[in-house]
């Protein structure tokens, strides 16, 4: 998640001493604080562009916190508001939560609890602002609306695609199932000089071997039994545009020889014909797996790889850019909500944690399906890679081992949520940094492996 834009805290409380005390705590923690002794004075500053979180007392003269909450929800329903309640005000706090408040804290407010709650609320606000920015981008032809994410890996991917888009070179896109090979290929075509030409996508794994020649080369009428009319093949159909060969490793090896000849000569001849047809096309192939291993396993011919591999794009799996997961999930939720004409449900902390901890073996495709299930009210279906958060996984262990396993998992989860930032993690866990470092040393944890901003 991007951290370039500074976030703010709007603090509202009629108790001047408490207002100053909380403001000092937040400023010492590095937050930019705007303090107001009355709710009505804060109203002009509550806008949909406000990049931060509101912390507000419930009971105040002239205008209550509940009234301010109602106003804020009308301005921006996604604005996180943390309510501060006094003794005996739990019923009002419950009303505030039903009205859209992010959370509530009881007086006296513990600084550690306040900072931990604020950290989560600020992350939520920044994510909402990023999703909103994506929705506000003009047109579907913007690369950022196709390759969504703020991690270094996705930023580098967009730069690479931008560089290769205007070039008339063949290339190979590598990536796991569901990582977005078709999205990248379509972007290379749609945003490039061949956008007005045809985009011919071929799933090599779906073609019966007996029909491969006719499908690619086409045929003349009477070329073989059943050829009642002439047929234009994929090569000819892609003239002036892009030929996308998906799952190239599934193409029969004997046909790969003929494909290589077409790529070298840029011409084709229909079956049963004798006319050479000149071709002007860009060929993009997609493969699942590492090229060297596919050649070694005799799935791909080495000479074909050499010919196509003028440039290569290697798509990172979703588990390698986990700080993009929540942003992507919200993007897909917005799309699913528009499709089904419903509201996006609220994400609780448990779901946020699982989204980040899960390894997503099906990558972006699996995440998209999960978002749609979430929007329409169906439970998410986790595979065997589900985060080890269930206490049942610890059953059978001696008590000390189970406690250690749980503590290690709990610290790992917090470090991942804060991208390896020890200070933020210690605040979220409500322990001193020194104690966290000792725990990390005990379990062999390094903050660097949790820095997913790469």
**Hey, where are the domains in the chain?**
8-136, 151-316, 321-375, 391-450
Q: Which pLDDT value is given to residue 364? A: 94
| Whole-number Å distance between alpha carbons of 7 and 140 | 29
Radius of gyration over every alpha carbon of the chain, rounded to an integer in angstroms: 28
Reported as half-sphere exposure (CB side, CA atoms, 13 A), residue 70 has a value of 8
Mean pLDDT by groups of 10 residues along the chain of 454 residues: 62 92 90 92 89 93 92 90 83 86 89 89 82 56 82 91 94 94 95 94 91 90 82 94 96 94 94 91 94 93 94 91 89 88 80 83 92 90 55 60 78 78 87 89 72 50
CATH of domain 151-316: 3.40.50.300
Task: Write down the pLDDT at residue 71.
Answer: 92
b (16+ CB within 10 A) / e for 130-152: bbeebeeeeeeeebeebbbbbbe
Q: Which residue has the tokens 């002794």?
A: 37
CA distances to 15, 51, 395 from 124, in Å: 28, 11, 34
According to the model, what pLDDT value does residue 2 have? 40
Homologous superfamily of domain range 391-450: Homeodomain-like (1.10.10.60)
| pTM tops 0.85, yes or no | no
> Which among 150, 11, 153 has a CA at the least distance from the CA of 84?
11
218 near 236, Cβ under 8 Å?
Answer: yes
The Cα-based distances of 288 to 71, 130, 175, 207, 258 in angstroms read 52, 31, 5, 17, 22
User: Is 391-450 the same fold as 8-136?
Assistant: no
Q: What distance, in Å, lies between the first and last C-alpha atoms of the chain?
A: 10
d(CA 272, CA 269): 8
For the domain 8-136, what is the CATH code? 3.40.50.2300
CA pair distance 362, 373, nearest whole angstrom? 15
């Amino acid at each position: 998640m991007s951290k370039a834009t500074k976030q703010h805290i709007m603090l509202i409380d009629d108790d001047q001493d408490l207002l100053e005390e909380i403001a000092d705590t937040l400023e010492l923690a590095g937050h930019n604080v705007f303090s107001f002794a009355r709710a009505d004075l804060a109203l002009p500053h509550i806008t949909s562009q406000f990049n931060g979180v509101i912390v507000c007392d419930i009971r105040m003269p002239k205008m209550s916190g509940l009234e301010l909450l109602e106003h804020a929800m009308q301005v921006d329903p996604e604005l996180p508001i943390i309510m501060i309640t006094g003794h005996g005000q739990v019923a009002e706090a419950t009303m505030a939560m039903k009205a859209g408040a992010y959370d509530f804290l009881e007086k006296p407010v513990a600084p550690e609890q306040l900072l931990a709650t604020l950290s989560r609320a600020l992350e939520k606000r920044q994510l909402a602002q990023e999703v909103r920015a994506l929705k506000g981008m003009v047109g579907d032809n913007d690369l950022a609306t196709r390759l969504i994410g703020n991690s270094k890996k996705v930023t580098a991917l967009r730069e690479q695609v931008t560089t290769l888009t205007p070039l008339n070179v063949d290339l190979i896109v590598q990536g796991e199932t569901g990582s977005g090979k078709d999205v990248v290929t379509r972007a290379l075509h749609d945003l490039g000089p061949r956008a007005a030409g045809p985009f011919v996508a071929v799933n090599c794994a779906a073609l019966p071997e007996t029909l491969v020649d006719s499908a690619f080369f086409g045929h003349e009428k009477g070329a073989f039994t059943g050829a009642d009319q002439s047929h234009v093949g994929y090569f000819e159909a892609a003239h002036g545009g892009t030929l996308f060969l998906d799952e190239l490793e599934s193409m029969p090896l004997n046909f790969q020889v003929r494909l290589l000849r077409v790529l070298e000569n840029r011409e084709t001849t229909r079956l049963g014909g004798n006319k050479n047809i000149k071709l002007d096309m860009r060929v993009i192939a997609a493969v699942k797996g590492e090229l060297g291993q596919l050649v070694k396993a005799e799935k791909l011919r080495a000479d074909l790889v050499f010919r196509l591999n003028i440039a290569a794009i290697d798509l990172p799996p979703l588990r390698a850019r986990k700080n993009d997961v929540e942003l992507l999930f919200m993007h897909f939720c917005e799309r699913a909500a528009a499709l089904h004409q419903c509201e996006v449900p609220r994400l609780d902390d448990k779901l946020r944690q699982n989204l980040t901890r899960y390894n997503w073996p099906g990558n972006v495709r699996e995440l998209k399906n999960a978002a749609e299930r979430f929007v329409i009210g169906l439970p998410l279906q986790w595979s065997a890679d589900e985060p080890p958060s269930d206490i049942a996984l610890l059953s059978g262990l001696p008590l000390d081992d189970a406690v250690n396993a749980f503590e290690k998992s709990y610290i790992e989860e917090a470090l991942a949520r804060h991208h390896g930032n020890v200070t933020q993690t210690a605040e979220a866990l409500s322990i001193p940094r020194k104690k966290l470092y000792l725990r990390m040393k005990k379990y062999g944890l390094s903050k660097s492996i949790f820095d997913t901003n790469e």
